[in-house]
């Protein structure tokens, strides 16, 4: 167990070079170094600037619709017969997921730097939609890279992005999923570094992205902490959030790092099961550190260092790496990571819909499934706070396909 001093240090991470212990850093080709240094300077200056903070807070309140509610899922909790489950309703944000908290923040940075174009990678399409949305609002040109396989799985979001004026580029290299979309977005950035602001969607990538995405997403945890205290008079016993790159999880976890009694549980995509090798769970399957997409982190690669293809029913978790701060929190023993398989996530998707009338995204369904496992083992006066990071409308097509229904 980390000591109080360890946790105080953990809360201050990353160091000046963007390292979270042995993880993180800035592993990119030289052409991007100047842009990253400039971004870091801009961010450090603006994040402490009251005027920037006020503008960010205003947008979160009046454009995103924050604070998002903390909802006591009474019927689900009663039925499970154990801990009380509370849902942090990020699904109620404008555009339907937590992703917009970050794109609002990065768009403000883009506006300040005066770049006329933004680019993004997307898996499930939620980050792409959130990026296209802020680009439309600010009148910026927008290009979104998306794997061919994900374009098929998330056709609705693709059309949403196009309606918002974004160009959606189908990525046909590699495994045609999120990691390949990120490769392509980085190639775009190397080529258009002078006029483009790259809006990374998760708390990964080269420094300062993991830090700034976390800071923008930490609104989730700050609100949840206050709301839980206000509604129940105490802090939750456990936080549960799904982890692909891990931006919704780090946003929830970070404000609680020094609350040593609050367990933090990150839920990765178990796919067909860790034992099958077909999953997207680098932390819970015990992967060693590697380097991809600009940072050092636990990474699914083979013994020759090639990145392994991943599988998850949810496009947003289908990624072989994880944000470096999660690798660090696991390493120091502050957070725990586990995996939920496709079928368990699908069950939770249906079950939450039926018991609470809330349809979670397949990504968030992984967190719901873990909470459903944990609750019966806990006391009735204990609290599990689940980050319901996105809504499930975008996944209806996938679920219907599994049911054998074609629209």
Binding residues vs another protein (CB under 8 A): 17, 25-35, 173-174, 179-180, 183, 186-187, 190-194, 288-294, 296, 299, 301, 303-307
Distance CA 173, CA 130 (A): 24
Q: Which of 40, 88, 90, 121 is catalytic?
A: 121
Give least dist CB 176 to another protein, A.
Answer: 13
Residue nearer to another protein on the CB measure, 138 or 291: 291
Active-site residue 5, yes or no?
A: no
Task: Please state the separation of Cα 11 from the chain's center in Å.
Answer: 19
3-state helix, strand, coil in the chain (%, to 5): 50, 20, 30
Residue 131 or 183 having the CB closest to another protein:
183
Determine the Cα–Cα distance for residues 57 and 117; give it in Å rounded to an integer: 24
* Distance (Å, whole) CA 352 – CA 335: 25
Q: Tokens 């996105």 belong to which residue?
A: 390
Contact 165, 117 (CB under 8 A): no
Instruction: Catalytic residue, from 179, 284, 389, 394: name it.
Output: 389
Query: What distances in angstroms separate CA 390 from CA 24, 250, 257, one per listed residue?
Result: 26, 15, 23
For residue 354, count other CB atoms closer than 10 A to its CB.
Answer: 12
> Among this protein's residues, is 11 annotated catalytic?
no
Q: Does 389 participate in catalysis according to the annotation?
A: yes
The Cα–Cα gap between 179 and 335 comes to 24
> To the nearest whole angstrom, how small is the minimum distance from the Cβ of residue 362 to another protein?
25
Tell me how crowded residue 357 is: count the other CB atoms within 10 A of its CB: 8
Euclidean distance between CA atoms 270 and 250, whole angstroms: 19
CB of 64 to another protein, least distance (A): 32
CA–CA dist 338, 96 (Å, integer): 25
Minimum distance from residue 280 beta carbon to another protein (Å): 15
Catalytic residue among 88, 99, 179, 211: 99
Nearest CB to another protein, comparing residues 124 and 287: 287
CB of 256 closer than 8 Å to CB of 11: no
For another protein, the closer CB: 305 or 404: 305
Residue closer to another protein, measured from CB, 66 or 296: 296
Minimum separation from the CB atom of position 168 to another protein (A): 19
How far apart are CB 306 and another protein at their closest, in Å? 4
C-alpha torsion sign, points 177, 68, 20, 30: positive
Identity of the residue, 143 or 227, whose beta carbon is nearer to another protein in the bound complex:
143
Active-site annotation, residues: 99, 121, 389
């Amino acid at each position: 167990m980390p000591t109080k001093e360890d946790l105080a240090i953990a809360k201050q991470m990353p160091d000046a070079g963007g390292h979270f212990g042995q993880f993180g850093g800035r592993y990119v080709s030289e052409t991007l170094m100047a842009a990253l240094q400039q971004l870091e300077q801009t961010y450090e200056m603006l994040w402490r600037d009251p005027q920037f903070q006020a503008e960010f807070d205003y947008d979160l309140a009046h454009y995103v619709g924050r604070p998002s509610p903390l909802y006591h899922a009474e019927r689900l909790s009663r039925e499970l017969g154990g801990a009380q489950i509370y849902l942090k309703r990020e699904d109620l944000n404008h555009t339907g997921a937590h992703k917009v908290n970050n794109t609002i923040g990065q768009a403000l940075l883009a506006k300040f730097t005066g770049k006329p174009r933004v680019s993004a990678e997307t898996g499930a399409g939620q980050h792409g939609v959130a990026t296209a949305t802020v680009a439309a609002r600010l009148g910026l040109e927008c290009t979104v890279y998306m794997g061919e396989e994900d374009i098929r799985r998330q056709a609705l979001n693709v059309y949403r992005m196009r309606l918002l004026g974004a160009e959606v580029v189908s990525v046909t290299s590699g495994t045609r999923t999120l990691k390949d979309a990120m490769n392509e977005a980085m190639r775009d950035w190397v080529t258009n570094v002078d006029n483009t602001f790259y809006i990374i969607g998760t708390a990964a990538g080269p420094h300062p992205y993991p830090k700034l995405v976390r800071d923008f997403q930490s609104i989730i945890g700050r609100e949840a902490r206050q709301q839980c205290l206000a509604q129940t008079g105490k802090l939750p016993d456990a936080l549960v959030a799904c982890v692909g790159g891990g931006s919704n999880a780090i946003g929830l976890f970070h404000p609680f790092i020094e609350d040593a009694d609050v367990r933090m549980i990150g839920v990765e995509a178990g796919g067909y099961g860790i034992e099958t090798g077909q999953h997207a769970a680098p932390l819970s399957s015990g992967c060693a550190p590697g380097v991809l997409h600009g940072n050092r982190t636990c990474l699914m690669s083979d013994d020759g260092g090639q990145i392994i293809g991943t599988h998850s029913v949810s496009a947003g978790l289908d990624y072989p790496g994880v944000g470096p701060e999660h690798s660090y929190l696991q390493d120091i023993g502050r957070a725990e990571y586990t995996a939920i398989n496709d079928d368990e996530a699908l069950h939770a998707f249906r079950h939450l819909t039926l018991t609470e009338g809330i349809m979670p995204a397949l990504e968030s369904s992984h967190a719901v499934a873990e909470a459903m496992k944990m609750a019966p083992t806990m006391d009735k006066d204990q609290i599990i706070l689940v980050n319901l990071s996105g809504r499930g409308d975008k996944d209806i097509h996938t679920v219907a396909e599994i049911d054998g229904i074609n629209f």
